[in-house]
Structure 1
Amino acid sequence: MSSPVLDQVRSVKVKLGLLVAISVTVASVLAAVGATGSVPVWLSVPVTVALALGVTQLLAVGMTSPLREMTAAARVMARGDYSGRVTATSSDEVGELARAFNRMAEDLAAVDRQRRELVANVSHELRTPLAALCAVLENLVDGVAEPDPVTLRTALDQAERLTALASDLLDLARVDAGETQLSTTQVPVLELLERAVAEAEVSGREVGYDVRVLPPGLTVPADLARLHQLVANLLDNASRHSPTGAVVRITAQGNATGWRLEVADEGPGIPIADRDRVFERFGTLGEAEGGGGTGLGLAIARWVTELHGGTIHFVEPEPRSTGARVRVELPHHPVHKKVQEPVMTKPADSPPPTAPIAPTPPAAAAVARAPESGLDMLFGSFWPDARVPGKVRAVLYCLAVGLLAGIILPFRDLGIGTFVLLVAAGGVILRFSVNRRSRFTQACAVLCLLLASTVAVRDAEWIAILCLFAGGAVCMAALVNGRTLPAFVLAGIAWPLAGLRGLPWLGRSLQAVTGLKASAAALRTVVLSVLGVLVFGLLFASADAVFAKWAGAIVPDLEFDSFVLRAFLTVAVGGVVLAATYLGLNPPKVEPAAGTVRPVARRYEWLAPVLLVVAVFVVFLAAQVTASFGGHAYLKRITGLTYAEYVHQGFGQLTVATALTLLVVWAAARKAPRTTAADVAWLRGSLGLLCVLTLVVVASALYRMHVYQEAYGFTQLRLLVDVFEGWLGLLVLGVMVAGLTLRANWLPRAALLSGAGLLFLLGAINPDAWIAQHNVDRYADTGKVDWPFLQGLSDDAVPVLNKLPADAAGCALKGHDVSDDDWLEWNLGRHRAQSILKTVPKDGVCPGRTS
């Protein structure tokens, strides 16, 4: 897609200067508008950069596309295909080079076509009379036929036909602009057909011929030589594709407007989709009914027919018949047309066009439309463009999601409006994903929906944000249909890169808008609809206070700062959804190439490190048992730590050790040989023992965290690491199952889905309420609690904190206020807390001591 403005500039240097100036201006204006509208930096910077890059891409593509097209066309030309052309619309040096390239390619193509088509036509035209002449002479030499006048006349006819054909071919070589003169005489049709059949019979093909002419004395005005050429080609084609013993039927019949010639055979016939292509030179079927020949016989037949002002085409065979049936319609008085000669093309010395080149053949058009762009070279085989067709609907849907985000998100807390936005975005992405029918993708879609629902159910932003990040990771894995951990990582990286990789697809989508027949009507409908809603909405809002209140709940505030923020959010969210949509339409090749893993030569090379790790685990567990049976006094005497300090000290290290154990198991399983039963037994035994010890370590880590929380209180971070450690234990169980079956290809997907599922379950149990309940229970048992921490919990914990004594409840609820949410901010956690906060005084004195 080129820029009409820059196409008029006659200098590449000036174009580059304008390009830089426009991009800098766009970026500066957007940055200034964002700063004036108080748009956060984290939002304004990426949107500004993205839009500036988009403007640069749109303006620069027309400058570089001719060079890429020339590169692609030159590569094809080096292989002998001269059909490639370059789109040349600009007036600068690159445009002049492109037009010169097109002229050169046109000249080379003309010379090459003349050479190839002359050889092919000469071979085709000389083949039939030569075969007939050879057959007659062989019969004479072998004594099969006597040299009577009839036989000699047939041989002489073939020799004369050879002479006439050679003369015709020389005439054709001198034809200018493909025009040939007709020599019209009255031709007896029956005599013409019988003579053509006699020549066809000497070719030796074992078929019969049935000639019918109505009326028998039918004569028509035509060029005898050309008409004979037409009939001979049709008979040659029909006899070649007829089975042995079949009959070729030739029918000629006069009518009010002219006369009709039909040739029908009993061969396999021609599919309806190919009936037009068989008349093309060097057609894909060669000759009719599936191959053979040079592909010129029917092309010459069509040329002769059109010279006489007639038509030729294949029709359905007679009822209860098979084969091909070609029909020629010729007028009573031939109308000499200027027909493109099947042998010749435009002379090489014709003046080349200076305007943009006319449409090229399909192969050439493919070369011209699909050059290797800079993005293709950048992403290479990892992410080919695949010429994904432009989808206007996808762009419009993503824009609608962006507009919805601009209406819902600003100045609102997470709630049902955010959930609706997430569902709309996910629906658009899934709608255009090529993997949407995959069971894994469908399972991920359901899990993403569950994770998104937390924003409408829980007021705790920390769990809602974690669920949203987990949903994004699951969504990306689903779009690429990944199966391995590297695939999941690459999918996450590909999401932001899709904004760059998808620029050519976005350009094709925007170009497709101009091809929509109903685009003008649709645009007019939208404009009139919006205008009608605005006019009548403003009138009714000014006339009725209730209507104005309802409208205010739906229509966002459009002050300048608000408008700028909403505009930036529209572009950002719409762009993110559009990038994910392209990722689903054209996912990259994220799965690593299947390489051959070479196991170690000797068993001890992998077994010794694993057994040493097992020994370390055994010693560690022995220390754990000693500390447990020795009691607090023993622990204090040996380490100088209290038991709570002791268990807190090692939790993080145990979590890391669990994760590293999974890495050790993976490496050992890859390098261990499995050629004998003993190899498999050692693999299962050693890694199974290591996994069992790892489960004991997981249990120890969870117990340590439980003791620490009982001593120092429960928090969100401590609960989250508990869940993470439990997830690692679940992965260890999965590894043990994979070790028993020696099949682990299901494990990465199971790990992803189980991790995201655990986050959803964590949100489902209402974590802030759970934490508040345990801290309340601890306060009841010990009298110790961290009041500032309780005051910082979300509204999800309000029903639990309200169970405290009046003064304590008033203290714990000091950080909670009655909110004035609209329906788009509705949230189950906040909704349940509102009735309590309206009745509980929040000026109580915090009792007890903080701990």
Structure 2
Amino acid sequence: MSEKSSDTSGRPESSPESGDGAEAAPGSTPAAVSGAARVSPGRANAAATKPARASTAPVPPQDTGPDVPKVPAYLQTQPRPDVWLGKGPQPPGLLSRLRTPSPPAIGPATLWSVFATALLSALLLGDGLGPNLLIVAVPAALGAFFAARSAGRVLRPWTAVWAVGGMALLAVPALREAGWPVFLAVVSALALGSLALHGSRSWPGVLLGSLGLFPSVAGGVRWGWRGVRDRAGDSRGRVRTVVRSAAVAAVLLIVFGTLFASADAAFADLLGRLTPDVSVGDSPWRLFLFVLGAAGALAAAYSAAAPVRWDGITVRPGKARNRAEWAVPLIVLDLLFAAFIALQLVVLLGGYDKVREETGLLPAEYARQGFWQLLWATVLTLLVIALALRWAPRGGPRDRTLVRSVLGTLCVLTLVVVASALRRMDLYVDAFGLTRLRISVAAVELWLGVVLVLIIAAGVLGARMLPRAIAASAAIGVLAFGLLSPDGLIAEQNVARYDRDKRIDIEYLESLSADAVPALDTLPEPLRSCALEHFRRDLARQDTPWYASSWGEVRARDILERTPVQNHGSDCYGLGQEADERGGDEEEHSYDPY
């Protein structure tokens, strides 16, 4: 027993891989032998009583516990993702791909410009629109300039064109009192300012770049807040110095300004006109304007430092068609335009008698019958040209010649249609006078003619500059429309019509803005007083400061103060209608609300 025990205890333990009682192979290392798995004592004793013999039978696996049935992969339950952890990393959005890398930290010059814009917005914009818009825009533009310079951007020619054009458009509220040209000018100024900040040149760039300030509002506010927080933490001493200096200066201005105002009534009146009237009651409105000015200035500065490259959006051209499939419909359309214009030239170049002879209609009826149709024909023609260029054949020089010939002919014929529409409007205005709607649609038709001329020039010289040229033409049109004073033109035309035909609509002229007062001042009495009484009452109720008063309003006040309006009482009612009845043919001179 002792021998068997020593024999058993001295035998090395075998591994499951080599089988029970299997000897180590020659050449095996001690580490391999010592790393073998151990067997239980019972099995070791059983193996010691049996002689060692080679076996080729497979070694059963080691018993590691109860067998667990395997579950197929398609039945295995996948762990549910935690909804609070999100969906993981997402691909960058469109704006993230198009925007340039993050701008450097906002500089002190930009921060002070933003603060000045916000403060001026709160103090000046609450009383109306006038020169204050231009005053507020100056520090906002300076903030964008400082931000662009810190980001390493340089001033390019088109950037200067858009910036100067935007500032020029903001001069319209300072000059005109009418709200509708002022609204067009302000919207166009925002669009040009956005184009100046983003520097777009393609069709998607010009169209989307004009709205590019809005996606930068949130990023600009975060950018500005980080800059304020970092600078407040790094230079608390300088911030306190600036605050103390500003507080001392404000106290000195208030104390000595009050003393001088009480000492001289003229100085008090001047000081009252120059300083904004701020009361506690409109504090929420002023706070809103402060936040709006700060957010707008930060969005402009952020766009200047990290612009969105809208030109990165590419529009793939349509599938090129063969020559016959593309050209035949357009040639048919050219022939239709030519046939229509051939019949129009007789009337277009003729006058009143020619219209009555050819159509049997009065000039006003003839104009009303066709102007809107010709306007829509012009708009649809531009759409046809855009689609035709998308699917035009692009095989070689012969295809380019075909495209230029067919579309160039269509553009030239459409220009004649534009001239015909404007001629119809001229006949219409002669019969019924000029109104806001009539002058607006005539201006749109004229601008569409300019667009057609630019398209013809692009076909000859190349279309690289076409998107920016059309945007510039629209801005120039809005600027010219505002500077020409449409309400003043309407009043002048109606006064001239009265001098010629003794027909005028006083009720409609009273609905115009103060820009019409100089022309209405030339009417004879009692028409003059009846037309200006409404303006006298409105201007007497208004007490706007200088920064919210346009030049048109100031001029109207001077005219009414120099030549006061006479009180004619009930004589003004029906005065314009009586003048119309004396004009002659009732069918021809009846009033048309259009």
Q: Match for residue 840 of structure 1?
A: 564
Mapped partners of 2:175, 2:239: distance in 1 = 41
Q: Check whether the contact 2:107–2:147 (CA below 8 A) recurs between aligned residues.
A: no
Q: CA deviation at 1:449?
A: 2.0
Equivalent of 1:553 in 273, 278, 300: 273
Equivalent of 2:242 in 501, 522, 534: 522
Are the structure 2 counterparts of residues 436 and 453 from structure 1 closer, same or farther at C-alpha, using a change threshold of 3 Å?
farther
Q: Match for residue 765 of structure 1?
A: 484
Mapped partners of 1:777, 1:541: distance in 2 = 49
Letter in 2 for 1:651: F
Letter in 1 for 2:226: R
Q: CA deviation at 1:571?
A: 1.2
Q: Does 1:565 align with 2:285?
A: yes
Equivalent of 1:610 in 290, 305, 330: 330
Letter in 1 for 2:359: L
Q: Match for residue 830 of structure 1?
A: 553
Q: Does 1:779 align with 2:494?
A: no
Letter in 1 for 2:159: T
TM-score for the superposition, normalised by structure 1: 0.52
Q: Match for residue 381 of structure 2?
A: 661
Q: Check whether the contact 2:220–2:299 (CA below 8 A) recurs between aligned residues.
A: yes
Mapped partners of 1:695, 1:377: distance in 2 = 43
1:498-509 correspondence to structure 2 within 5 Å: 498-509=216-227
Mapped partners of 2:191, 2:103: distance in 1 = 27
1:724-803 correspondence to structure 2 within 5 Å: 724-741=444-461, 743-803=462-522
Are the structure 2 counterparts of residues 520 and 840 from structure 1 closer, same or farther at C-alpha, using a change threshold of 3 Å?
closer
Residue 474 of structure 1 aligns to a residue whose secondary structure is helix
Mapped partners of 2:491, 2:97: distance in 1 = 53
Mapped partners of 2:494, 2:91: distance in 1 = 56
Q: Match for residue 428 of structure 1?
A: 143
Letter in 2 for 1:697: V
Structure number having the greater strand percentage: 1
Q: Does 1:702 align with 2:425?
A: no
Q: Check whether the contact 1:436–1:442 (CA below 8 A) recurs between aligned residues.
A: no
Q: Match for residue 460 of structure 1?
A: 178
Are the structure 2 counterparts of residues 832 and 598 from structure 1 closer, same or farther at C-alpha, using a change threshold of 3 Å?
closer
Q: Match for residue 402 of structure 2?
A: 682
Q: CA deviation at 1:543?
A: 6.2
Mapped partners of 2:106, 2:206: distance in 1 = 27
- Number of aligned positions between the proteins: 474
Equivalent of 2:199 in 450, 471, 481: 481
Letter in 2 for 1:411: D
Are the structure 2 counterparts of residues 377 and 456 from structure 1 closer, same or farther at C-alpha, using a change threshold of 3 Å?
closer
Over residues 679-705 of structure 1, what are the superposed CA-to-partner deviations in whole Å (9 max), with x where a residue is unaligned?
Answer: 222112111110111101110111111
Q: Check whether the contact 1:430–1:436 (CA below 8 A) recurs between aligned residues.
A: no
Q: Check whether the contact 1:647–1:707 (CA below 8 A) recurs between aligned residues.
A: yes
Are the structure 2 counterparts of residues 650 and 421 from structure 1 closer, same or farther at C-alpha, using a change threshold of 3 Å?
same
Mapped partners of 2:106, 2:396: distance in 1 = 55
Q: CA deviation at 1:744?
A: 0.5
Q: Does 1:808 align with 2:527?
A: yes
Q: Match for residue 167 of structure 2?
A: 449
Residue 432 of structure 1 aligns to a residue whose secondary structure is helix
Q: Does 1:720 align with 2:440?
A: yes
Q: Check whether the contact 2:127–2:548 (CA below 8 A) recurs between aligned residues.
A: no
Q: Match for residue 401 of structure 1?
A: 117
**Higher relative contact order, structure no. (Cα contacts within 8 Å, ≥ 6 residues apart):** 2
Are the structure 2 counterparts of residues 431 and 647 from structure 1 closer, same or farther at C-alpha, using a change threshold of 3 Å?
farther
Mapped partners of 1:601, 1:793: distance in 2 = 53
Q: CA deviation at 1:568?
A: 1.4
Q: Check whether the contact 2:126–2:286 (CA below 8 A) recurs between aligned residues.
A: yes
Q: CA deviation at 1:714?
A: 0.3
Mapped partners of 1:429, 1:671: distance in 2 = 41
My pick for the range that moved more, 536-545 or 600-609, is 536-545
Letter in 2 for 1:748: P
Mapped partners of 1:524, 1:419: distance in 2 = 30
Q: Match for residue 78 of structure 2?
A: none
Are the structure 2 counterparts of residues 546 and 373 from structure 1 closer, same or farther at C-alpha, using a change threshold of 3 Å?
farther
Mapped partners of 2:484, 2:136: distance in 1 = 24
Over residues 128-161 of structure 1, what are the superposed CA-to-partner deviations in whole Å (9 max), with x where a residue is unaligned?
Answer: xxxxxxxxxxxxxxxxxxxxxxxxxxxxxxxxxx
1:20-39 correspondence to structure 2 within 5 Å: none
Letter in 1 for 2:311: E
Q: Match for residue 652 of structure 1?
A: 372
Mapped partners of 2:239, 2:547: distance in 1 = 33
Letter in 1 for 2:558: S
Q: Match for residue 215 of structure 2?
A: 497
Quote the RMSD (CA, aligned, Å): 2.9
Are the structure 2 counterparts of residues 631 and 596 from structure 1 closer, same or farther at C-alpha, using a change threshold of 3 Å?
closer
Mapped partners of 1:631, 1:490: distance in 2 = 46
Letter in 1 for 2:372: G
Are the structure 2 counterparts of residues 715 and 424 from structure 1 closer, same or farther at C-alpha, using a change threshold of 3 Å?
farther
Over residues 307-361 of structure 1, what are the superposed CA-to-partner deviations in whole Å (9 max), with x where a residue is unaligned?
Answer: xxxxxxxxxxxxxxxxxxxxxxxxxxxxxxxxxxxxxxxxxxxxxxxxxxxxxxx
Letter in 2 for 1:805: P
Mapped partners of 1:542, 1:676: distance in 2 = 83
Mapped partners of 1:420, 1:547: distance in 2 = 23
Q: CA deviation at 1:553?
A: 3.0
Q: Check whether the contact 2:194–2:211 (CA below 8 A) recurs between aligned residues.
A: no
Equivalent of 1:590 in 301, 310, 330: 310
Q: Match for residue 46 of structure 2?
A: none
Equivalent of 2:228 in 510, 522, 541: 510
Mapped partners of 2:289, 2:314: distance in 1 = 42
Over residues 658-717 of structure 1, what are the superposed CA-to-partner deviations in whole Å (9 max), with x where a residue is unaligned?
Answer: 222223223323432344432222112111110111101110111111111111210122
Q: Match for residue 29 of structure 2?
A: none
1:115-126 correspondence to structure 2 within 5 Å: none
Letter in 1 for 2:428: Y
Q: Check whether the contact 1:445–1:475 (CA below 8 A) recurs between aligned residues.
A: yes
Q: Does 1:391 align with 2:107?
A: yes
Are the structure 2 counterparts of residues 418 and 480 from structure 1 closer, same or farther at C-alpha, using a change threshold of 3 Å?
closer
Q: CA deviation at 1:622?
A: 4.4
Letter in 1 for 2:114: C
TM-score for the superposition, normalised by structure 2: 0.73
Over residues 358-405 of structure 1, what are the superposed CA-to-partner deviations in whole Å (9 max), with x where a residue is unaligned?
Answer: xxxxxxxxxxxxxx9999658431335524323343233222112112
Are the structure 2 counterparts of residues 448 and 728 from structure 1 closer, same or farther at C-alpha, using a change threshold of 3 Å?
same
Q: Match for residue 416 of structure 1?
A: 131
Are the structure 2 counterparts of residues 646 and 426 from structure 1 closer, same or farther at C-alpha, using a change threshold of 3 Å?
farther
5+ residue gaps, structure 1: 1-371
Mapped partners of 1:599, 1:376: distance in 2 = 30
Percent of residue pairs identical: 32
Are the structure 2 counterparts of residues 606 and 726 from structure 1 closer, same or farther at C-alpha, using a change threshold of 3 Å?
same
Over residues 44-80 of structure 1, what are the superposed CA-to-partner deviations in whole Å (9 max), with x where a residue is unaligned?
Answer: xxxxxxxxxxxxxxxxxxxxxxxxxxxxxxxxxxxxx
Q: Match for residue 83 of structure 2?
A: none
Q: Check whether the contact 1:454–1:467 (CA below 8 A) recurs between aligned residues.
A: yes
Letter in 2 for 1:469: V
Q: CA deviation at 1:550?
A: 4.1
Over residues 88-125 of structure 1, what are the superposed CA-to-partner deviations in whole Å (9 max), with x where a residue is unaligned?
Answer: xxxxxxxxxxxxxxxxxxxxxxxxxxxxxxxxxxxxxx
1:302-451 correspondence to structure 2 within 5 Å: 379-383=95-99, 386-412=102-128, 414-433=129-148, 437-451=155-169
Q: Check whether the contact 1:394–1:428 (CA below 8 A) recurs between aligned residues.
A: yes
Residue 724 of structure 1 aligns to a residue whose secondary structure is helix
Are the structure 2 counterparts of residues 431 and 809 from structure 1 closer, same or farther at C-alpha, using a change threshold of 3 Å?
farther
Are the structure 2 counterparts of residues 708 and 601 from structure 1 closer, same or farther at C-alpha, using a change threshold of 3 Å?
closer
Residue 793 of structure 1 aligns to a residue whose secondary structure is coil
